[in-house]
Structure 1
Amino acid sequence: MKAIREARGLSLQQLAKDIGRDPGFLSRVENGQQGAGDETIHRYASRLAVPIAAITHEEKPRDQERPGAAHEEHD
């Protein structure tokens, strides 16, 4: 979530103001210290103009590999 917000050039304080949430609360959500309700997630995604899945999906390191990359053989 934080990476997307930063890529959009928004400060935590500005986003919190825009979606009507406390900056401390959003900071804890972004850092995985606290969960967020559906309404907050919807507001967050809407303000950043991204699908909800973009901010709720956590990729596992394995998901980031190219297909077959872990099994390539090098001579």
Structure 2
Amino acid sequence: MKPNGVAIRVIRERSGCGLRELERRTGLTRPFLSRIETGDRGASPSTLQLIATALAVPLKAILKEDT
């Protein structure tokens, strides 16, 4: 499973959720979340599910299509 950082950022921004709010919802740090969004960092399936849940989207919405 590879995160689609662009999709995560677009979904987050369109929902009016800043990195600080996503940090609060997930318990993950802003620098960590930012690195996922920029593609500098991968994430475990459980972390990706946590982000998807916090953004109220299905997991597949934040994954790269080739996974």
TM-score scaled by structure 2?
A: 0.80
d(CA) in 2 for partners of 1:4, 1:57: 14
After the TM superposition, list the runs of 4 or more consecutive aligned residues in structure 1 that deviate by more than 4 angstroms.
Answer: none
Letter of the structure 1 residue corresponding to residue 30 of structure 2 = P
Spell out the pairing of 1:1-75 with structure 2 (5 A cutoff).
1-58=8-65
Give 1:40 deviation, angstroms: 1.2
RMSD over aligned Cα, in angstroms?
A: 1.4
Give 1:58 deviation, angstroms: 4.5
Higher-RCO chain (CA-CA 8 Å, sequence separation at least 6):
2
Letter of the structure 1 residue corresponding to residue 18 of structure 2 = S
- Please, which runs of 5 or more residues in structure 1 have no aligned partner? 60-75
* Larger Cα-atom Rg: 1
Residue identity over aligned pairs, in percent, reads 41
TM-score scaled by structure 1?
A: 0.72
32-41 or 50-59: which moved more? 50-59
Give 1:57 deviation, angstroms: 2.8
SS in 1 for 2:16: coil
